[in-house]
Each structure stands twice: as structure tokens, then as C-alpha cells.
Structure 1
Amino acid sequence: MSDARATSFGAAADHYEAARPDYPFDAVAWMLENLPHGSRRIADVGAGTGKLTRVLVAAPDGEVVAIDPDPAMLAKLRESVPGVPTFTGTAEHLPLPDSGLDAVVLGQAWHWVDPVAASAEIGRVVRSGGTLGLIWNIRDESVDWVRRLTEIMHSSPAENMVNGPGSHGPQIAAPFGGVETGRWEWKRPMNRTQLHQMASSRSYLITAPAQERAGIVRGMDELFDELGLGDAEATIDMPYATTAYRAVRA
């Protein structure tokens, strides 16, 4: 992980679990469709509270372990997705044996890693012909109110990597090659509370000074008032674009 923001999420694990979106099943299945049928040994690295883990375990032939550098996030994962083995570690230092996995996947996490070191370490634990899968849920900022929300909250490293000006997507290094990309668009209804929880689970807000956090909350409330999100039952459709990448180990 690259900086203090990368390991800040445990302080907001409850909000992360409550307000971050799950991943579309079709996108996750696409990342892994090149794997053979039968028992698939998969590690979810940077697993957080288990947003991607729960989709992986829904497949009938998956054997999944979850790895994250933050014990607080793993504790929430064990509540949310019971029965999945968890380990403390990072993409650059995996507590796993050589060539023991069919795939390693990272959801909302590759932008925090050293891509060359992480590619090499994941290549160590994945068999030849195995898969590295990367996936992000990114809000669709072509919608005006979503763009304004991001301006208030500040953009994230994930958004800059996947959709930022001049971005070419994530860097994936040896021993992986032949990177493929897929994209899925969808919407998620969210109320005012969930939107605030989503914002407070972002590394920028977690690590910002209290005065700045308060200003961001005020700015969000002004936007939500304008949008008519005035009561607990009112919702607005948050448009998302899920972008996934897959690469095969040589």
C-alpha cells in the first residue's frame, strides 16, 4: 500500500460496509470466465469488508480466501461473509504458498499498490495460466449532480486511475500479459444517509481535518436539499460504471 490513506479505511469500516456498492455478478464472472470449471482457488486481496468476497463465494465452485492489511476491515468481513478464511497481508507481500491459486482479484484496491511489485508477488502465488482480475465501481460523472458531488467530496485515486484525464487504466506487469477490459453500467438507489456514509468511507474524508470534513458535509447537504432528498425515505438513483480488467499469467 502506498500511503496513510490506503490503510485508513478501518476507521470507517461500518460506513464502508453500509454504503459502498456490491459488484455486479456478471462483471465478476467475466473476470474469472477463463478459469476451468471445478474447484477454483481464489484470493480476494485488499478485500476490505468483503464487498467482492461475497460475490466470489456465491459461485458454487469457488474456494476463497480474503486478505487485507487492516484487521478492522477483516473483522467486519468475518461478520459480513462468515466462513471465509482471512489473512493480514498486502498485494506486495502475500501470506500464501507458491503457485497455489487459480486467480487473485482486487476490488477497489489496485490504485493503492506498487503495480510492478504486486504483479510479481501475485505471479508467485498464481499458477501458470491463472488470472489476475481487477475491478472498480466508479460513479458516472457524466451525470451533472454526480459530477458536482465529486467536486464537493474530492476525487479519489481510483477515479483518477480508471477515468481520470489521460488515464490508460491500471498498470499490470510481468508475469501477466494480454490485459482485457470490460464495462457494465447500472444504477443504485441511495438515500441521504447512505450518500453521507459513502462519503465518510472515502480515504480523503477519513484523513481530512475536522473543519474540512464539516465543510464537505455542509456542501453535500446543500446539494441534497437542491435535489429534493429531504426525508429518510427519499432516494436518488446513483449511476455507476463498473470497469474490470483481467490478465493471464504466463
Structure 2
Amino acid sequence: MPTIGPSQNEPHQHRQMAESFGSDAERYDRARPRYPQALVERIAAASPGPDVLDVGSGTGIVTRQFEAVGCKVLGVEPDARMAGVARSLKGDVDVATFEDWDPAGRTFDAIVSGQAWHWIDPIAGAAKAARVLRPGGSLAAFWNVPLFPSGMAEAVADVCRRAVPDAPVGFQAMTKGPLDGYQTLSAKAADGIREAAGFGEPEQWRFDWEWTYTRDAWLDQMPTQGVFTRLPSDRLAEVLEGVGAVIDARGGSFTMRYATVAVTATVQPGAGSRGPA
């Protein structure tokens, strides 16, 4: 589903959509998909220590996954509503945009960012990450890309186009390769890392997995997606009713294929923790 923003070229400039996810933070935490365990374990295993900074930490979904493998995680989240949910679940969160966040002398072994790095200036964000990472530390930004079953993507896109003809994000990506938009994001993140300096050459990873949704579970998630977070209630109801009918026609559930794409880079010797960020 389209969650990237009104401009896939410079989404970090569109703070209004970036800060709309907290409008129903509890639903966001409940309904949003988690990330592949293999991804979490690979990042944690490569880290020189347990201290992790979760950038754009939201309600703490990524934070809790890394804590479950033994990491100590601090979140940085600009939306106080999202941070409030994370804190209610025992998360440690600073409320700030990453660009303006004050590390107060703190440094980290890894920086992670799930479904959020595109809301951060790619060059300024990478430069700041390099300054607060310890030697051998790494930055890992990753995104879940949903891939609807064949035939269902077209039906869902038709419902969305009818209900939201003026959407700032087109729905054609559902049917014409949703990976393309996210690969553009990951390429931009990699370019920002290169331009900021301080890191070795970025690597790109991909993890494929599946999740089966009931009708109710998928309709619970849809309002948390960027294009729908600020939609008037009557138009959102139209979307949910139409998509619900599509799922009902498939027997009341469906299996979503996900591709989780990641960009990672390791701080070069002598580049990390170089002073105030």
C-alpha cells in the first residue's frame, strides 16, 4: 500500500504526512507488520555491542524486536503520541526529529530505522549517524514492501482510486511493481550515506516472507497507512467497505507476500563518535 508520501523523490520534506501516523498510535502498534527475525538477528550479530538507537521509533515495534535479542535500545521519535505508546510499553524514547536530536554525548553500536528513514534528510541523517556511532558500528534502514496476491491488487487499487481520486500518492504501484518505489528510497538512502562520508560502501539486503490476514486484521491496518491517515471518515469508510468486499470474495482472508528491503553501512575506522552531533 502507498505509505511513502506525496513526493517519492523528497519525502522528508513532507512533515505533515510523516507526523500523521500518531493520529491513532494504538492502532498503529497493534496492526502494523513486524520485521523478519532474520533481519533483526543479522543486524544484532554484526553490531560490536548491544547499544542500539532506533530512529523514527514510532510506537516501539522495532525497539521491542531488538530488545528481544538482547539489545539495549533508545528510540528517537518526533511524534509525542507515538512515543507515549512506546513508553507505556516500557520503551525508552527521546521526542525529537533525528536531525534536531541532541545525543548529549551518547554513542551507539548500531542505528536502525524501520519504515522511517525516508522521512529524514538522507545526507544530514547519515552524517549525524556517523557521528554518534562507535567504531565498527553500523546504520541499517529498512522497509516492509507489501505485495498483494495476483488479481487482488487490481481490485483493491480500483476501490482506492474510486474513493480517493485525488490521493497525493497514486495506487498504480499496487499493480505495477510496488518494489520500485521502495528501491528508489533505498537507493536514495545509499546515496546519502555515500555523500555524507564516514561509512564504507552501503550494502542492500532483501528478505522475503509471508503473512496471512483475516478481513478484520487487514482493515485494522489500512487506516495506519500514510495515504489514509488524514482521510475524512466517510471516505475512509468507503475504502474499508470496498476492500472488505474484495477480501470476502476471496473467502475472508488472504496471504500477503512481503519483501523487506534494507540498506546497511558500517562506519569506517576513525569516522565514528567524532564529537558533538
TM-score, length of structure 1 as denominator length: 0.84
Q: How far off its partner does 1:162 sit?
A: 5.2
The alignment status of 1:109 with 2:119, answered yes or no, reads no
The verdict on how the C-alpha distance between 1:71 and 1:149 changes in structure 2, with shifts beyond 3 A counting, is same
Q: Is the 8 A contact 1:176 1:249 kept in 2?
A: yes
Shift in CA distance, 12/202, structure 1 to aligned 2, threshold 3 Å: same
1:26 aligns with 2:43: no
Cα deviation, residue 123, structure 1 = 1.7
Aligned position for 2:51: 41
Matching residue's letter, 1:73: M
Residue of structure 2 in register with 1:200 after alignment:
223
Selected match of 2:69 from 46, 59, 67 = 59
1:99/1:127 contact within 8 Å kept:
no
Structure 1 counterpart of 2:262, from 215, 238, 244: 244
SS at match of 1:216: helix
Aligned ranges for residues 132-147 of structure 1 at < 5 Å? 132-141=139-148, 143-146=150-153
Q: 1:232 — aligned with what?
A: none
Q: Deviations over 1:166-193 (max 9, x none)?
A: 8363423223331112211111121112
Question: Residues 6 and 67 (structure 1 numbering): CA distance in 2 closer, same or farther, change over 3 Å?
Answer: same
Task: Report the 3-state secondary structure (helix = DSSP H, G, I; strand = E; otherwise coil) of the residue aligned with 1:104.
Answer: strand
1:126–1:185 distance in 2 versus 1, CA, 3 Å? same
More moved, 120-129 vs 18-27: 120-129
The 2-side partners of 1:85 and 1:59 are apart by 16
For the structure 1 residues 27 and 149, does the alpha-carbon distance in structure 2 shift closer, same or farther, using more than 3 Å as the test? farther
CA distance in 1: counterparts of 2:155 and 2:123, whole angstroms:
34
CA contact (8 A) 1:138 1:240 kept: yes
TM-score, normalization: structure 2? 0.77
- In the TM superposition, what are the counterparts of 1:48-87 in structure 2 within 5 Å? 48-60=58-70, 62-80=71-89, 82=90, 84-87=91-94
User: Are 2:53 and 1:7 aligned?
Assistant: no
Give CA-to-partner distance per residue, 1:207-236, whole Å, 9 cap, x none: 12344323322321231222121xxxxx32
SS in structure 2 at match of 1:49: coil
Cα RMSD of the aligned pairs, angstroms, is: 2.6
**Alignment-mate amino acid for residue 87 of structure 1:** D
Q: Find the counterpart in structure 1 of residue 180 from structure 2.
A: 163
Task: Please report how far the alpha carbon of residue 67 of structure 1 lies from its aligned counterpart in structure 2 after TM superposition.
Answer: 1.3
- Is the 2:108–2:133 contact (alpha carbons within 8 Å) kept by the matching residues of 1? yes
State the distance in 1 between where 2:231 and 2:110 align.
Answer: 35
1:139–1:238 CA contact under 8 A, matched in 2:
yes
Check whether the contact 1:161–1:170 (CA below 8 A) recurs between aligned residues. no
Q: Aligned partners of 2:68, 2:182: CA distance in 1, in Å?
A: 36
Equivalent position SS for 1:78: helix
CA distance in 2, matches of 1:206, 1:107: 18
CA deviations 1:9-39 (Å, max 9, x no partner) are: 1112122111111111111222343322xx4
Aligned to 2:97: 90
Fraction of identical pairs, as percent: 29
Q: What displacement does 1:91 show?
A: 2.4
Name structure 2 gaps, 5 residues minimum.
1-11, 161-168, 269-277
Total equivalences in the alignment = 239
Q: Structure 2: how far apart are the matches of 1:35 and 1:108?
A: 20
Aligned residue for 2:200, secondary structure, equals: strand
Q: Aligned pair in 2 of structure 1 residues 246, 189: CA closer, same or farther (>3 Å)? A: same
Q: 1:49–1:124: structure 2 CA closer, same or farther, 3 Å change rule? A: same
